[in-house]
Amino acid sequence: MTEAADPLSFVLFGVPRSGTSALADALNLQRDVFCGHERLLGYRKWASRQEIIDALLLAGSNNPGAAIKKNLGHLSRKIEESQNFLIGDKFPEYYVRLKEVINLHASVKKICIYRSPYGFAASWDVRANNIHDSTWDRGRIGIFGIFDMLIMFHILPALAPDTTVVSYAALFQDGVRIFPALVEQITGQPADPEVIPAFRKQYFQRRKEDPERAETSPYRELLQSIDADGIDAAIRERRMMTAQRLKAVTRGFVENAAPRVSASIAARLADLPGDASIEVVRPSLGQDTLGRAPTEWPRCASAACIARGDPGGHPFCARRFGSRRRRATTGRNASAQASKPQPGLIEVMHEGISC
């Protein structure tokens, strides 16, 4: 395999809690593929594959976390086994800044995993209700994930119609044919023979029992009212398709669903924990996992910008809901936002910074 012109070969994303981590680990079964775990590789122009490897190893040496150690273990094995392997990165919310990723990496392959909102919303709720989970805000409940799904459906066909959209259910629950097809989509070559049984053993069988919990979901009435079940079935039936085809499958869905989801958000604000507050952030003041400050992170994906076809036009001021802390607010209408009561969450969530 010859090295790609762009040392970053692919990015993997999807609404958080949609199986991006499991898919990234599964891709690392393939001998000539390495997928990083939220290393934010898509937000920088890289001169060479070796530059990425050096940055990953340096960052990993300063991060003793188990997940990072596991991911770097994959990287070390790739280095030992092959002098030339493809490098990608998974970060669930790459779709929020997809325009920037494309500008930096014009030839990068884009892989989006779609999971039923019954599944990911339940996972959001579990993490939001876990007071011991320090990496997830308590107020970041599933309804906001459903809103993220609408954002993603809008952004993909407009900015990246060549994105490969793969069904979580088809990948992890319906059979093992989709995974080798996805590997071939990324590498241009058939999957290694040993990859399929390894995937079956490590990922498919374990996740086959993962229920989507539609019957008990607190969002069941909402999701049925917007025909999320129909979208689920259509994407699952097609298994893997381009975002251009996704546009046809979801035609009219976002426009019809957005008002209902907005109303549901308003109704559920009273159900947030009593100490929940919006975490208004401008993360460009911080650093990414490679120790470099990203520029204008993340990009705006508000309803107003999407409506005029301009996602990614300016920094998006707030997307986290929780109780851990209230950070300093930035932006043109910062002081007004900081003083708003809880109902202001709706306006902030939808409008970003003066869209």
Q: How many helices (H) and strands (E) does the chain have?
A: 17, 8
Q: Report the distance separating Cα 16 and Cα 146, nearest Å.
A: 10
Residue 95 predicted with pLDDT over 60: yes
- Cite the DSSP H helix spans in 9-129: 20-27, 49-61, 66-81, 98-104, 117-128
pLDDT band for 282, please (50, 70, 90 cuts).
very low
More confident residue, 79 or 286: 79
Q: Is the alpha carbon torsion for 135, 140, 146, 151 positive or negative?
A: negative
* Tens digits of residue pLDDT in 267-277: 766 555 544 43
Share of the chain above pLDDT 90, in %: 41
Q: What value does the mean pLDDT of the chain take?
A: 74
Residue 334 predicted with pLDDT over 80: no
Q: Report the distance separating Cα 27 and Cα 35, nearest Å.
A: 7
Q: Can you give the pLDDT at residue 262?
A: 75
Residue 327 predicted with pLDDT over 80: no
Q: Can you give the pLDDT at residue 206?
A: 58
Mean pLDDT computed over 99-106: 92
State whether CATH 3.40.630 applies to domain 8-252. Answer: no
Nearest C-alpha neighbor of 9 from the set 38, 52, 71: 52
Residue 265 predicted with pLDDT over 80: no
Q: Mean pLDDT lowest for which of 150-159, 291-300, 304-313?
A: 291-300
- Cite the DSSP H helix spans in 36-86: 49-61, 66-81
* Tens digits of residue pLDDT in 182-232: 999 999 999 999 999 999 888 876 555 455 567 788 999 999 999 999 999
Residue 140 predicted with pLDDT over 60: yes
> Domains of the chain: which residue ranges?
8-252, 270-351
Mean pLDDT computed over 123-145: 84
Residue 290 predicted with pLDDT over 80: no
Q: Can you give the pLDDT at residue 164?
A: 97
Q: Report the distance separating Cα 32 and Cα 85, nearest Å.
A: 4
In 61-218, at which residue ranges do the beta strands (DSSP E only) sit? 86-90, 109-114, 164-167
pLDDT band for 235, please (50, 70, 90 cuts).
very high
